[in-house]
Each structure stands twice: as structure tokens, then as C-alpha cells.
Amino acid sequence: MRIGTRGSALALAQSEGVRASLPGDPREHRLVIIKTAGDLQPNAALVRIGGKGVFTKEIEEALLRREIDIAVHSLKDLPTDERPGLKLGALLARDDPRDALVSREGLPFEQLRPGASIGTSSLRRRSQILAHRPDLRVQDLRGNVPTRLARLEGGHLDAIIVAAAGLHRLKLIDRATQVLEEAVMLPAPGQGILAIQIRADDKATEAAIAGLNDAHAAAEATAERALLEGLGGGCLVPVGARARAKDGMLELTAYVGHPDGRPSVRLGASGPAGAPADLGRTLAIALLGQGARPILDEVRSMERFP
């Protein structure tokens, strides 16, 4: 199989893991590196590039042109509205979905000095940082994980926040000062899950990768992405969500907050694991009714958020 992937160290590590899991001899499968809009503009703020599909669009187009057979994505980067002609063929078992703090002086989040600078390109992370620590300075930070770590080591920032799953996959988790609990930092919908995307009419590939699909990850992802879709959001809006599948039930917690840390809405709900999309949509309606709508409207109307 030809495996479409971005060229960052993390994307390649993720795709190599998928290659090793595919049926047959891994040496017979090859990676095809595709540059996305997000890769071609590494220093531009994501909200200015346009957001939707910024790390996936070019890979999806290559899949539609039959230049690759499967695409490997971080699920949190994939827009919730499925591209015509494509489908999700498998969602892999979830890695740690939480965010991790890497501090230059080894200080945990609660002990960072007032006025300390913390780097992230995510409005979701910015919102939750300032909701808990309005005394910190949040600075926009783009680039792959090694680039972000280098910026931190160079003294440009006091701390950064990245996905714990990314550190695990790059074997850099020992660099984390603290893995942030979800009470402080609710992750992005789909965080920690790898998605294998295929052409909708490719039955042979669908059958070949079916065994890679993880039922728990699929249920959790469906609930989280239905919530995001119900809020009318893309992958850049300040929305956090975490579903947990256990004993035939799903528990879903969600957060909507303004990028400056005020105001915010956080709610939870539960339902049968067999109807994850219904749970996500129901909680989205509840969030909109409890004050999420004006927050999202204001964020979308901001000049820096097209």
C-alpha cells in the first residue's frame, strides 16, 4: 500500500506504526510524503491560514487522485464534515489524549511565575490556560514538536503545551514536566486517536484494514466529533471534549471557552455506547443553551479568526 502522510517527525513516526500494523510484509508498503498548507506556512498563525483541513486537504486530494491508497491523520486535524468520495476506514486504539506541559525550569503549571510566557497555537489551550492562570502570557507557537522544544530550550518561552500522545510517539515523554489532568485542560475532540482514511469505493482496502479499528476509540471519537459538529465548530475553535467508553456506556465532558479565558461553559452527559453521535449532539444543544452560542459567535467574528 502507498501510505499518504505529512513529513514531520511525528507524522512519520505515526505512519511507520501504521505501516508495521498493515497486513503483509511492512517492507512492501511505502510512505508517500505530502506537504499540506499548514506545513508550507510553518510560521503563520493557523487561524490566518484558514483552519479547516489545514493539515489534511492536500493528502485527501492525493487519495482522491489515487496517488496513495490510504491516508494517516491525527483525527483531531480532520474536519467533521467528511469529504465526498472518502471515508474513515479505521480508528486506531487511543493513546493518552491529555495535554502535557513542558517547562524550561521544571515547574508545574500551578507554580509557573506570574507573567511567565507559555507557547501554544491552539485557541482551546489558550482559553483553558487563561481560565486557570490569567496571570500568564500566552504566545502563539507553531512548528512540529522538536521545533517547539527547541524554541523553549532557546529561552524564547518559559513553557509550552503539546499533546502527550505526540511526546509518547516520538519517545520524548520524559521531557514532559507534567501531564495535565482534564479538570485543567480538556483535550481536543479526537486527540490521541490516529485515523486511516480511504476512498469510499475501495472495498479491498477497507477489508484489509478493518482489523485495525478499535471499537472503544471509534465510539469515543464519534461522540466527540458529533459534539463538535453540533457546535458548528472546526478544529480551531476553543472546544474541548473527552468521551469515555466503559461497560456499554459513554460519558462525555465538553468545554467551550473564549480565547481570553472568559467566559466558559463546561457540561457533561452520559448515554449508551451504541448511540455515540446522539450523545454528542445532545450535549452540543445543551452547551448552546447554557451560553456557548455567544462565545462561539464572538470568536468567529474576531478579525484574527476567519
Boundary residue ending a domain (179, 205, 224): 179
Q: Same domain for 231 and 294?
A: yes
Q: Same domain for 112 and 128?
A: yes
Q: Same domain for 87 and 109?
A: no
Report the pLDDT averaged over residues 231-240.
82
Q: Same domain for 84 and 230?
A: no
The answer on pLDDT for 284 being more than 50 is: yes
The answer on pLDDT for 293 being more than 70 is: yes
Catalytic residues: 77
Q: Read off the pLDDT of residues 178-206 as tens digits, 9 standing for 90 and up.
A: 999 999 999 999 999 999 999 999 999 99
**Residue at 228 is within a domain:** yes
In one letter, which amino acid is 248? G
3-state helix, strand, coil in the chain (%, to 5): 40, 25, 40
**Residue at 206 is within a domain:** yes
Find the CATH number of the domain harbouring 250.
Answer: 3.30.160.40
Range of weakest confidence among 49-58, 151-160, 162-171, 290-299: 49-58
Residue 120, class by beta-carbon neighbours within 10 Å (0-12 exposed, 13-18 middle, 19+ buried)?
A: buried
Q: Read off the pLDDT of residues 25-41 as tens digits, 9 standing for 90 and up.
A: 999 999 999 998 777 76
Report helix, strand or coil for 112.
coil
Whole-number Å distance between alpha carbons of 214 and 64: 25
Q: Same domain for 87 and 198?
A: yes
How many H helices and E strands in the chain? 11, 13
Q: Read off the pLDDT of residues 57-104 as tens digits, 9 standing for 90 and up.
A: 999 999 999 999 999 999 999 999 889 999 999 999 999 999 999 999
Residue 247 cell numbers, joined: 461497560
Sorting pLDDT into bands at 50, 70 and 90, what band is 255? very high
Which of 181, 158, 182 is closest to 106 using CA atoms?
A: 158
pLDDT at 263 (0 to 100): 83
pLDDT at 68 (0 to 100): 98
**Residue at 19 is within a domain:** yes
Q: Same domain for 155 and 203?
A: no
**Residue at 187 is within a domain:** no
The answer on pLDDT for 54 being more than 90 is: no
Q: Same domain for 86 and 199?
A: yes
pLDDT at 86 (0 to 100): 97
Total Cβ atoms within 10 A of residue 245:
19
**Residue at 50 is within a domain:** yes
The answer on pLDDT for 301 being more than 90 is: no
Q: Same domain for 59 and 200?
A: yes
Answer yes or no: are the C-beta atoms of 197 and 74 closer than 8 Å. Answer: no
What share of the chain has pLDDT > 90, as a percent?
83
**Residue at 184 is within a domain:** no
What share of the chain has pLDDT > 70, as a percent?
94
Q: Same domain for 273 and 302?
A: yes
Q: Please report the DSSP string for 1-24 in residue order.
A: -EEEE--SHHHHHHHHHHHHHSSS
pLDDT at 105 (0 to 100): 95
Find the CATH number of the domain harbouring 59.
Answer: 3.40.190.10
Strands (E) across 237-291 are located at 239-246, 249-257, 264-272
Sorting pLDDT into bands at 50, 70 and 90, what band is 306? very low
Mean pLDDT taken over the chain: 92
Q: Same domain for 275 and 150?
A: no
pLDDT at 48 (0 to 100): 55
Q: Same domain for 83 and 205?
A: yes
Give the angle 220-226-230 at the CA atoms, nearest 5°: 150
Predicted TM-score (pTM) of this structure = 0.92
Give the angle 50-184-180 at the CA atoms, nearest 5°: 90
pLDDT at 45 (0 to 100): 57
Answer yes or no: are the C-beta atoms of 90 and 25 closer than 8 Å. Answer: no
Q: Same domain for 218 and 296?
A: yes
**Residue at 84 is within a domain:** yes
pLDDT at 261 (0 to 100): 87
In the chain, how many domains are there?
3
Strands (E) across the chain are located at 2-5, 30-33, 70-74, 86-91, 99-103, 117-119, 137-139, 159-163, 178-179, 194-199, 239-246, 249-257, 264-272
Residue 175 — φ and ψ, nearest 5°? -80, -15
pLDDT at 143 (0 to 100): 86
Q: What residues make up the domain containing 241?
A: 214-306
Q: Read off the pLDDT of residues 127-162 as tens digits, 9 standing for 90 and up.
A: 999 999 999 999 999 888 999 999 999 998 999 999
Q: Pairing between strand 194-199 and 86-91?
A: antiparallel
Report the pLDDT averaged over residues 218-233.
94
Report the pLDDT averaged over residues 99-111.
97
Torsion of CA 172, 178, 183, 189, to 10 degrees: -10
